[in-house]
Structure 1
Amino acid sequence: MKKLIAFMVLAPPLFGAVVFSWILVRGPRMTVQHHIREFQMVLPGPAPGSVSVTSATSAPAEEGAGGVTGPKATPALLAQGRIYYSYYCLFCHGVAGAGDGPVGNSYVPRPADLRHASVGAYPDGELLQRMLTGAGHEPVLERVVPQRHRWPLVAYLRSLSSSR
């Protein structure tokens, strides 16, 4: 009788463990899992009859070269630049561009004072290149700041250096 009671107590959990193990090892599973990575994607072509549109703030073809000039600084471009400055630059360079942002205060050396006349003296292409790959940025900003945000940022940095 004791053997029967022991069997009735131990058999259900043992049977459950065997079934669970079988399902875990041999049960239904997704044997083929599709992982489409960005670099493996093949994007569809443009729709028939579509027309390519370029933004007014799009960068020239040779972005970053010393002789390249950005678009003319308009109030709309400066407003965009101010917004992008608050996204990418404000925390290190501060509200006024003095290099006294909340994160920048912890850096040694401190971030550059963007209001300085030497910043405004750079040609557009060189200012853009230094902005993206300068000390403390390499190469993070080059990967983070999208192409369409770069020239408004350059225009806004110029306005900071000229307003001082």
Structure 2
Amino acid sequence: VSNKWGKPYDWKWNEVMETKNANGGAGFTEYNDGTIQFETTQWSQGYYDNGKIWQTFTLPEGKYEMRIEVKNAANIGSGSTNIHFAVAQGESLPDNEELEKSDIILSYLKFESEHTNKTSALPIFELTEEKTITVGWVVSFSDICRNIEFKSVRLWSVAE
């Protein structure tokens, strides 16, 4: 980490996150013993719409669960934030506006204030054959003083 922000290894970013990362709006930070953090830039300016950070990989047939740990959050859950972690078939994530009704989504969780300082599980999803999937965040902030820190992301194979 050369400044406040770094890029998590093996994760991809869209242009929205590239632009904000240069100004300090999202990425890995050593703060709080290391988190993936999204915030409105400098707490007084900067908004972003459908910022995405994701990984794409192949999983074998089976049942799976994703667990996401939120360390801290400020002013989320209002109309000015839209924060999802999603699992999608294929190699991309839809925008927030389409995410909850998209037919490529296998599982998702929308983060609200009650998710702060705890681990939350996305609904279990099942693959009936080997598939390429994409997992990651889709984040929109349309107001200042918004922040969320993710401590861990885990993928679990669920026994029958």
TM-score (ref. length: structure 2): 0.26
Comparing both chains, which one has the higher relative contact order based on Cα–Cα distances under 8 Å and sequence gaps of 6 or more?
2
User: Structure 1 length normalisation: TM-score?
Assistant: 0.25
Which of the pair has more CA radius of gyration? 1
Structure with the bigger percentage of strand: 2
Quick check: which one's helix share is greater? Answer: 1
